[in-house]
């Protein structure tokens, strides 16, 4: 929006040009009262008005330039202050805490899954053992009936003979049921972690979608990208030489792809 000084000068120029047009038209119509001096004076007035417009525009442009320079200097200073004061330590601490918490989640979920799988395996094995015993007994009865040539109605082999102990189970996904009491079942630690992340981002649909895309893509690339975006994060998440030496080949492959191997270590060292 132009300032009043410019619009006023432009309005005066427009009026001066309109008056010259009117005077010129009166001459064409034969009005004897219009003199050459009047036309010359009006043309001079137009020239002066044009100069005033130019002056107002230049003053406005100079003001705009000065304001832009001032704002630019302030923005540059703010950017320098931001960089100087950019403390990423809270992010580094939070990311490490999140990693530690999710590792703990995976560990306790894994321990629970292992316990469920162990009992489920025993229950299923016992069930098969009981079924095998029942089937063997049926075969013995059938053979005895054939020898004696007497008819025999064989008992049905139950699907869950282990019910006599009040339990049932399956091995994958592992679950154990105690009849009339309840059921416990395997839960994937990855799904637990995803659920925790979703709940942590609850209310921010944009970040939830960003997380979904990142998890569905290539995690190693995501880790590499964010460690470049946050100064110090790569070093905070870098493996120690002891962690590297204790890692499995699969873990080393991912850590190396993420750029988190110990300084000076190339892939495969310590294997």
Last residue of a domain, one of 84, 107, 123: 84
Inter-CA distances, 47 with 11, 37, 61, 117, Å: 14, 15, 21, 97
Same domain, 56 and 100: no
Same domain, 69 and 141: no
Global pTM value: 0.70
| 27 lies in some domain | yes
- Expressed as residue numbers, the domain containing 30 is 4-84
| 127 lies in some domain | yes
Same domain, 94 and 173: yes
Same domain, 95 and 39: no
The total number of structural domains in the chain stands at 3
pLDDT in tens, the chain (271 residues): 888 999 999 999 999 999 999 999 999 999 999 999 999 999 999 999 999 999 999 999 999 999 999 999 999 999 999 999 989 999 999 999 999 999 999 999 999 999 999 999 999 999 999 999 988 888 887 777 777 776 666 778 889 999 999 999 999 999 999 999 999 999 999 999 999 999 999 999 999 999 999 888 888 888 988 988 999 998 999 999 999 999 999 999 999 888 889 988 876 544 4
| 101 lies in some domain | yes
| 151 lies in some domain | yes
Distance CA 95, CA 91 (A): 6
Same domain, 50 and 32: yes
| 264 lies in some domain | no
Inter-CA distances, 191 with 9, 105, 175, Å: 71, 11, 17
Same domain, 124 and 97: yes
Same domain, 61 and 111: no
Same domain, 68 and 98: no
Contacts of 8 (CB under 8 A, 6+ apart): 56
Same domain, 75 and 93: no
Same domain, 151 and 229: no
Last residue of a domain, one of 170, 190, 210: 190
At 151 the pLDDT is 62
pLDDT tens digit sequence for 154-172: 778 889 999 999 999 999 9
| 51 lies in some domain | yes
| 265 lies in some domain | no
Last residue of a domain, one of 84, 103, 134: 84
Same domain, 80 and 97: no
| 196 lies in some domain | no
Same domain, 116 and 186: yes
């Amino acid at each position: 929006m132009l300032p009043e000084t410019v619009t006023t000068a432009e309005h005066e120029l427009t009026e001066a040009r309109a008056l010259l047009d009117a005077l010129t038209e009166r001459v064409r119509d034969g009005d004897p009262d219009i003199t050459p001096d009047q036309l010359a004076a009006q043309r001079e007035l137009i020239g002066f008005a044009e100069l005033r417009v130019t002056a107002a525009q230049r003053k406005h442009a100079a003001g705009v330039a000065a304001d832009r320079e001032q704002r630019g200097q302030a923005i540059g200073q703010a950017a320098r202050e931001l960089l100087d004061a950019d403390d990423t330590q809270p992010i580094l601490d939070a990311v490490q805490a999140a990693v530690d918490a999710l590792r703990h989640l995976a560990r306790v979920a894994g321990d629970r899954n292992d316990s469920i799988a162990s009992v489920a395996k025993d229950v299923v094995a016992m069930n098969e053992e009981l079924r095998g015993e029942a089937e063997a007994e049926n075969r013995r009865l059938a053979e005895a009936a054939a020898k004696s040539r007497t008819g025999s109605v064989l008992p049905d082999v139950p699907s869950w003979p282990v019910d006599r102990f009040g339990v049932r189970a399956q091995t994958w996904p592992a679950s154990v049921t105690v009849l009339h009491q309840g059921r416990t079942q395997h839960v994937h630690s990855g799904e637990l972690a995803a659920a925790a992340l979703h709940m942590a981002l609850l209310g921010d649909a944009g970040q939830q979608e960003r997380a979904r895309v990142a998890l569905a893509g290539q995690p190693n690339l995501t880790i590499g990208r964010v460690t470049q975006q946050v100064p110090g994060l790569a070093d905070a998440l870098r493996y120690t030489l002891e962690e590297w030496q204790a890692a499995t080949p699969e873990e080393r492959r991912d850590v190396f792809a993420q750029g988190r191997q110990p300084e000076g270590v190339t892939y495969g060292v310590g294997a």
